[in-house]
Amino acid sequence: MTIAFVFPGQGAQTIGMGKALAEAFPAAKSVFEEVDDALGEKLSDLIWEGEIETLTLTQNAQPALMATSIAAMKALEAEGITIEKAGFVAGHSLGEYSALAAAGAISLADTARLLRTRGQAMQSAVPVGVGAMAALLGLDFATVKEVAAEAAAEGEVVQAANDNDPTQVVVSGHKAAVERAAEIAKSRGAKRAVMLPVSAPFHCALMQPAADVMAEALTAVEIQAPKVPLIANVRADEVTDPALIRELLVEQVTGSVRWRESVQAMAAKGVTEFWEIGAGKALSGMIRKIDRSLASRQVGTDADVKAALEA
């Protein structure tokens, strides 16, 4: 059995996530303390006792979800399940940063600061209300790319942003163009088209200002070769070279998250079980839809850590 450790993206956040881990494992608690120090604020208070609307703000959700993932990873490591037990690491969008931190490629403090910068830059790249995202259900990625091309009229942007699984592709761009894409998708046989409650149109060309910010921020950060290979979002293939990782993290801001292909690539390389490290279980649901022969496990609480040890 070959295991991949995978790390969730935005949308998985909940108030209280990681608190039980911090109470049960000193190594997990120290993660939240280090992130608080790196950001110069008590993000942990917001995560455990704050308002969900504030936690969901992109600039807060991104470092918070990363902190929860790394706390779960540190709890596993305290019990002897180290990152080297995995054949690969991967993450969905911001989860790619969590994967790199877990694999020792970027320090925890640098990762927290990068994600705060990334969240702020992505939020400010497009004025609120100008952009939108929609999940198109029941169409494959190739068809959605055709839908997006047809909907991108009058100079407006709309792109296939997230190839999540065979039943769900997310489009992103100008609000009117995304709404057109949703209507076109229905005419092409989509089961549903759901506008997403997001504050900005992520993973499309409108995010170029944020990509420029991240290009500058990443030049100031040391990146080392990860202890296990990363399956990168925009390539759906393994990468270990620090210079290439830096380039792909910039490209990721405007590029598609090729999650379906990433899971398929890991399966082709021998992965049979995926451990979702951190909050929620969205990735496990996607993995089941991509390939029902693949096993998955969530590791986000102290009980999950104990169950993983028993397994």
Q: Which residues are catalytic?
A: 93, 203
Which alpha helices (H) appear in the chain, and where do they start and end? 19-24, 26-39, 43-49, 52-56, 58-78, 95-102, 108-125, 141-151, 175-187, 208-219, 242-254, 259-268, 282-290, 302-310
* Other Cβ atoms closer than 10 A to 310: 6
Q: Find the farthest-apart pair of alpha carbons in the chain and give their distance in angstroms, rounded.
A: 57
Return d(Cα 145, Cα 280) in angstroms, integer. 28
Return d(Cα 189, Cα 196) in angstroms, integer. 20
Tell me how far the alpha carbon of residue 39 is from its chain's centroid. 20
Helix, strand, or coil (residue 282): helix
